[in-house]
Structure 1
Amino acid sequence: MARILVVDDEIGIRELLSEILYNEGHAVEQAENAAQARSARLSYRPDLVLLDIWMPDTDGVSLLKEWISQGLLDMPVIMMSGHAGIDIAVEATRMGAMDFLEKPISPQLLLKTVAAGLLRNRAKQSTLKTSRIPVKESNDSSENSCWVDSCLVPIENNGGFKLGSVSLDQPLRDARDTFERVYFEYHLMKDGYSMTRVSERTGLERTHLYRKLKQLGITTTSRKKNNDNK
């Protein structure tokens, strides 16, 4: 069962789509305009949204742009319309909508498209959960570790993902340099900028370590030490 939000200013369409989805075992919330959709998005936290393009107050494409700009597009959105041209449908999917359904919508096509959207959402959530890595806080001397949920993060308007601060859509060499910079800065801070300890932890001979840090543009002296020496 999934939580689905149906946004359409025509009550007959809302009721019909809701009944079809309810009969498939889904929980359905309805909204007749953008204002109600905004509220339902925050309180109901739907797994998928069916969003009409033409609405009297704020149209569906504008609402989609709003959710994207606010970082709220963390669920699949399927646009719907009986009047929108192909150019508007293409624009919506290019912006981030998962698909477009033209009214009148057949029950079979509705369920097929919704199932595909929910499957994609589950795969995305599963990836985010399993990609969490344990990292020990740099100012914590205990053996306890904290979980950092900053691994695979969707890049807005891109369709790709970031691993922490590393975009996975850049060339391998650039991604490797970015990761290595984060990796060595972490160990430098963790070991108090002791090159001996960093060398032991990273498995690099000191000369090689100095060369690597210089190549990456990483200073080997902490900011605190620099401030103390002023």
Structure 2
Amino acid sequence: MANILVVDDELGIRDLLSEILNDEGHNVELAENASQARNARQREEFDLVLLDIWMPDTDGVSLLKEWAAGGLLSMPVIMMSGHATIDTAVEATRIGAFSFLEKPITLQKLLKAVEQGLARHQLRKTVPVVPSEPEPRIEPTPLPVMPSNEQLSQAQQLFDLDKPLREARDGFEKAYFEFHLAQENGSMTRVAEKTGLERTHLYRKLRQLGVDLSRSKRNAI
């Protein structure tokens, strides 16, 4: 049995996650905002934390930074959000989050992420502490090599680099999904598995990017 903290400002989500995790035999504590989560973390150790990103007082990423800076990030933290961007998920992972779950969270993905997080936590507790060795001599970092004119020309042929970042990124994502659709003969099921997206989210993303779905609908499994 694990000790799990669930932090989310939505009562329905807190209750649902608590019910599922309790059924799995875990002890669950609930917090509806960052303030309650801080108090709970100061009061006791947790084996895992499920932390929502968008909250009214302090957002989840800021709270994650606080715990990391204060040496309180001793447990795996799984971030949750229905509106976060890829950049937000990457930032949270860089700070120290174990993984990221996109809402609405499926039961299978929730249980898998919790299982993996608890396994990581258990591994940390069982691995013996190795005495620290003297820090290696830090070599000067070489200056970055600038791309050649030929490389820049090839990149500009693939993507319009004069566009704003968001538009350029949309162009890359469209080409990315069109490539996988062609590779999988239009099978939305296989493309979803390949790209790690839920089918509903994949459909929404493709429509947003203006990808032609007519062939995919004919061949989808």
TM-score range, shorter chain: 0.5 to 0.7
Q: Structure 1 segments of 4 or more deviating over 4 A?
A: none
Unaligned runs of 5+ in 1: 132-150, 152-162, 172-230
C-alpha distance in structure 1 between counterparts of 2:70 and 2:45, whole Å: 15
Q: Which residue of 2 aligns with 1:164?
A: 132
More helix by share: 2
Larger radius of gyration between Structure 1 and Structure 2: 1
Equivalent runs, 1:1-230 vs 2, <5 Å: 1-127=1-127, 130-131=128-129, 151=130, 163-164=131-132, 166=134, 170=136
Report the CA distance between 1:28 and its aligned residue.
Answer: 0.2
Distance 1:112 1:71, change over 3 A: same
Counterpart amino acid of residue 49 in structure 1? V
Instruction: Name the CA distance, whole Å, in 2 between partners of 1:166 and 1:31.
Output: 42
- Give the structure with the larger strand fraction: 1
Provide the C-alpha distance between the structure 1 equivalents of 2:42 and 2:132, rounded to a whole number of angstroms. 25
Following the alignment from structure 1 to structure 2, what is the Cα–Cα distance between the partners of residues 46 and 27?
Answer: 10
Shift of 1:8: 0.2
% of aligned pairs identical? 66
Letter in 2 for 1:70: G
Does the C-alpha gap of structure 1 residues 123 and 166 become closer, same or farther in structure 2, counting only changes over 3 Å?
farther
Alignment RMSD? 1.9
The 2-side partners of 1:166 and 1:41 are apart by 33
**Cα shift at 1:44:** 3.0
Q: Which residue of 2 aligns with 1:224?
A: none
CA distance in 2, matches of 1:165, 1:11: 48
| SS, match of residue 90 in structure 1 | helix
Q: What per-residue deviation string (whole Å, max 9, x for no partner) do you get for residues 67-126 of structure 1?
A: 010011000000000011111001101111000000010111101000000000000111
Gaps of 5+ in 2: 138-221
